[in-house]
Structure 1
Amino acid sequence: MSTIKDIAEKVGVSVTSVSRVLNNRGYISGKLKKRVQEAMDELNYQPNQVARSLILKKSNIIGLIIPDVSHPFFGEVTNHIEYYADKNGYKILLCNSQLNMVKEKEYINMLKASQVDGIIMGSHTMDIKEYTSIKLPMVTLDRQIADTIPYISSDNYKGGELATNLLIKKGCKKIAHISGNLHLNLLAKLRHDAFKKVITNKGIEHIVLQTDLNGFDYDEYDQLVTKMFLENPDIDGVFASSDIIAAQVLKECHRLGKSVPQDVKIIGYDGIQLGKLITPAITTIKQPTKEIGKMAVRLIMGQIQGEAVSQENILPIELIERETT
């Protein structure tokens, strides 16, 4: 493996001169830059990024911790974060926590050791003190961890209102809401709060089911939805907390011979691409994944550059009515 000393010998200059080129420090002639780059290409030299970050105290890397990379919503958000980070000269170091506290701690320690310039947190399993002690620019997604850490969220309460009111408007008499786990400190709980307020004020019969603490388990969704219809065969409207769960409801309706939307109307949440490919296409509350990704990078960049950034960042949602209502 080639070293910086090999580059210096190839070009005929000192190691210090090559180091100045690599780190863009001091005056460097265009001719020298070109010769160093040609030598690097010829010798297939790869700079030690960790060493460079220690010297410059800047790695141009952002850590991203999400709960499940296989979940379509987080996959789409990750895609947008990577795009906007790259446009700003940054790379992403992706960590898949699977909502495991031990893994999350290990990833945070790894990111700190890797000298990342900031962390975008989409997972939250630890105590508040552990996050505030990280001492790095940080942004959280759909999680309000502490007053000192900026967060981004879509308007979950408004989304819950729109979904519930649409099902009532469509004539549903008994509505089920399948929420995420209500014991977790997630802003998504506001979808449930809005559902309860609207449905109670309108006097509509309803039930609420919640998923388990252990993350995104598709087999669990299957069992939950099967039990829901077994115990409540007269349900004619479902507000699911994700499009994935809405798809599971659609599948169960097909198995039971229930017509959608004639017998059961279904609304999902997130607005993932998959939702419009399913037949019938799923009515959904769309989260602005592109804007979430763009804002996450902007807030991290602002903190890295020493700027004051807004702590609360609530983005608008959109009701997209398709074939399940």
Structure 2
Amino acid sequence: MAVTIKDIAEKVGVSVTTISRVLNNRGYISDNLKKRVQDAMEEMNYQPNEIARSLSRKKSNIIGLIIPDVSHPFFAELTKNIEYYAYSHGYKILLCNSLLNKRKEKEYFDLLKASRVDGIILGSHTMGVEEYRSIKLPIVTIDRQITDSIPCISSDNYEGGKLATKVLIDKKCRKIAYISGNLQLNLLATKRHDAFLEQVKANGVEYVVKQTHVNGFNLEDYRKLVHALFKEHPDVDGVFASSDIIAMEVVRECHRLGKSIPDQVRVVGYDGIEQGYFQNCEITTIEQPIKDMGELAVQYLIQQIAGEAPPMETILPIKLLKRGTA
């Protein structure tokens, strides 16, 4: 049978109200009493009901985090940093993995509201604008711009796309491929593609664009896409991959085909994830400031919880990491 605060009160010899004051840190409580209550809770293995406590203090100190796929290294690193900064400010994270499924995302929003989270950090965007507006909770988005009334944090996707493409053009690549997820999704990352097109067209470089046809981050789909690219365009000598994971698949396929990197094919990735060191081949990449993105997301959410207004749009600088593939 679950231990209740009534049981703790009887054990310590005080009222239930006093135990509630200790749990919620309200009013003056002596250190001696705090220790007696803590000792009793440990001895009786008492587990506080966080939702019930949040009802009494009107604050849960829990932040909801909805991301597309926690197995994707970029979102895994982002989640790690958000959790770190949230915990350092006294908040815990409730993690939701949407897999870019609209129904699943809606169900997670309902769960987070029912769990009385103080706010939501959103890295997934499948619902309509009005659905997000109706949530009535502080929200911060990462790399998704929903409305001008919801704070959004991103890296400079356009500048990153421009810089990656220029690296390949400056290295005299004659036919450059751009490989990405589905470009029809409403993501700020599509600006990388926009910058790519402007650069190759302005410099008269032959190009090809390959994108997935599914809403997800499926490794097998990336492999098929990269395989199809070199089968259909064996003369491609430069690849701008919209993520480091795709860049790794390009390197793997080039090794399989016996194409030397960077002598025959030059590759530039995007994200700057920790896994960018691949089979003794260091991926040249555009690094996103993942730590800064996570820290600002938590900061902006806490500002909203406190009734303050954070910036509505924050674009963080990117950096070229020159490594061995370009």
Class of the TM-score when normalised by the shorter of the 2 chains: over 0.9
Whole-angstrom CA distance in 1 between matches of 2:241 and 2:21: 57
Whole-angstrom CA distance in 2 between matches of 1:265 and 1:279: 16
Whole-angstrom CA distance in 2 between matches of 1:148 and 1:213: 29
Whole-angstrom CA distance in 1 between matches of 2:278 and 2:200: 30
**Structure 2 match to 1:99:** 100
Deviation string, structure 1 residues 273-321 (Cα, Å, up to 9, x no partner): 1112432211000111111111111011111111110010111111001
In the TM superposition, what are the counterparts of 1:100-115 in structure 2 within 5 Å?
A: 100-115=101-116
On the 8 A contact 1:99/1:123 being kept in 2, the answer is: yes
**Structure 2 match to 1:323:** 324
- Verify: 1:82 aligned to 2:86, yes or no: no
- Verify: 1:33 aligned to 2:28, yes or no: no
Whole-angstrom CA distance in 2 between matches of 1:278 and 1:285: 19
Report the residue type matching 1:201 in the other structure.
A
- Verify: 1:145 aligned to 2:174, yes or no: no
Report the residue type matching 2:279 in the other structure.
I
SS at match of 1:191: helix
Whole-angstrom CA distance in 1 between matches of 2:279 and 2:75: 19
Whole-angstrom CA distance in 2 between matches of 1:224 and 1:261: 20
Whole-angstrom CA distance in 1 between matches of 2:218 and 2:3: 47
Whole-angstrom CA distance in 2 between matches of 1:278 and 1:194: 30
Q: What's the offset of the Cα at 1:104?
A: 0.6
**Structure 1 match to 2:306:** 305
On the 8 A contact 1:81/1:294 being kept in 2, the answer is: yes
TM-score (norm 2): 0.98
**Structure 2 match to 1:72:** 73
Whole-angstrom CA distance in 2 between matches of 1:26 and 1:178: 59
Whole-angstrom CA distance in 2 between matches of 1:176 and 1:310: 36
314-323 vs 274-283, which deviates more? 274-283
In the TM superposition, what are the counterparts of 1:261-276 in structure 2 within 5 Å?
A: 261-276=262-277
Query: What is the percentage of aligned positions where both structures have the same residue?
Result: 66
In the TM superposition, what are the counterparts of 1:1-325 in structure 2 within 5 Å?
A: 1-325=2-326
Report the residue type matching 1:297 in the other structure.
V
Q: How many residues align?
A: 325
SS at match of 1:80: helix
Deviation string, structure 1 residues 51-93 (Cα, Å, up to 9, x no partner): 0011111001000000001000000000000000110011000
On the 8 A contact 2:180/2:246 being kept in 1, the answer is: no
Q: What's the offset of the Cα at 1:41?
A: 1.6
SS at match of 1:172: coil
Report the residue type matching 1:269 in the other structure.
Y
Report the residue type matching 1:212 in the other structure.
H
SS at match of 1:131: helix
Whole-angstrom CA distance in 2 between matches of 1:222 and 1:18: 58
Report the residue type matching 2:211 in the other structure.
Q
Report the residue type matching 2:131 in the other structure.
E
Deviation string, structure 1 residues 154-176 (Cα, Å, up to 9, x no partner): 00001001100000111101101
Whole-angstrom CA distance in 2 between matches of 1:274 and 1:32: 50
Q: What's the offset of the Cα at 1:38?
A: 1.8
SS at match of 1:167: helix
Q: What's the offset of the Cα at 1:205?
A: 0.8
Whole-angstrom CA distance in 2 between matches of 1:128 and 1:318: 32
On the 8 A contact 1:180/1:188 being kept in 2, the answer is: no
128-137 vs 175-184, which deviates more? 175-184
Gaps of 5+ in 2: none
Q: What's the offset of the Cα at 1:227?
A: 1.3
SS at match of 1:209: strand
